[in-house]
Amino acid sequence: MRLRLMTYNVRVGVESSLAALADAIRAVGVPDVLALQEIGVDWNMGERVDQPAVLAASIGLPHQSFGGALTDAAGGRFGVALACRWPLADVQLTALPRDRDEQRVLLRARVEAPIPFTAFCTHLSVHAHEREAQAVVVAEAVAATSGPVVLLGDLNDRPGTPTVLAVRGALTDCFDARGEGPAETFSVRDPHRRIDYVLVGGGLEPDGPARVARAATASDHFPLVAEARFGHAVG
């Protein structure tokens, strides 16, 4: 069994629209698991709708779960989400350590695929000391999870930094392992940093190329796409 994985910081669609984001994802190829950052439910920026539900339905992914990190005065929420080809169970949301940046969260769900696995989605702080503290919490959550895992998200830091090394732990960075083409995921206008990641472990291994979808310009980040397979011990 193989998985197609995508992480995409969509900036609540303000760079284009939800329709343009859906078109971009379809053009790249709809994944089995899609991790979304900077997405809202009735949020005060972008289209005031349930954005994960609208986007998932637009691209044909039947299951989605939203994790709110912020709430506005009207009750709108902003955070991260997972959209998936299979049902999501045992959904958990963890608030990450915060000092002076906005609240950040870690979304976790059990994916009820033919071979079940656990998916994590997060978006870490813009401040280095907060990122590093958050990375420890993320790493501990992943390490405490048995079986195959995928961790997707915007870590707001470059490869090899303390943040990324801590989050990665025993996981494999799909782009490090099988990356093809330019590595930078941010920004669309001036690509200069790789800060978005697809990490796998617990019996999942990179399988096939990982690439930054440079033709997808609907947000300020490019989506990152990777493929993984279950090792013989799992499958």
Share of the chain above pLDDT 70, in %: 98
Tokens representing 136?
Answer: 């420890």
Residue-level pLDDT at 234: 59
Cα distance between residue 44 and residue 122, in whole Å: 21
In a domain, 225, yes or no: yes
| Tally of domains in the chain | 1
| 154-199 confidence digits (pLDDT tens) | 999 999 999 999 999 999 999 999 999 999 999 999 999 999 999 9
Q: Give the pLDDT mean for 101-111.
A: 98
Average pLDDT of the residues of the chain: 97
Query: Is the model's pTM score more than 0.95?
Result: yes
Cα Rg of the chain (Å, integer): 16
In a domain, 8, yes or no: yes
| 35-86 confidence digits (pLDDT tens) | 999 999 999 999 999 999 999 999 999 999 999 999 999 999 999 999 999 9
In a domain, 47, yes or no: yes
More confident residue, 34 or 232: 34
The answer on pLDDT for 93 being more than 80 is yes
CATH no. for residue 225? 3.60.10.10
In a domain, 167, yes or no: yes
Residue 184 backbone dihedrals phi, psi, to 5 degrees: -70, 130
Cα distance between residue 212 and residue 25, in whole Å: 12
In a domain, 235, yes or no: no
CB 154 within 8 A of CB 220: no
Share of the chain above pLDDT 90, in %: 97
The answer on pLDDT for 232 being more than 80 is no
Identify whether 187 is preceded by a cis peptide bond (ω within 30 of 0): yes
Range of the domain at 120: 2-230
| Closest among 65, 74, 76, 75 to 118, alpha carbons compared | 65
In a domain, 89, yes or no: yes
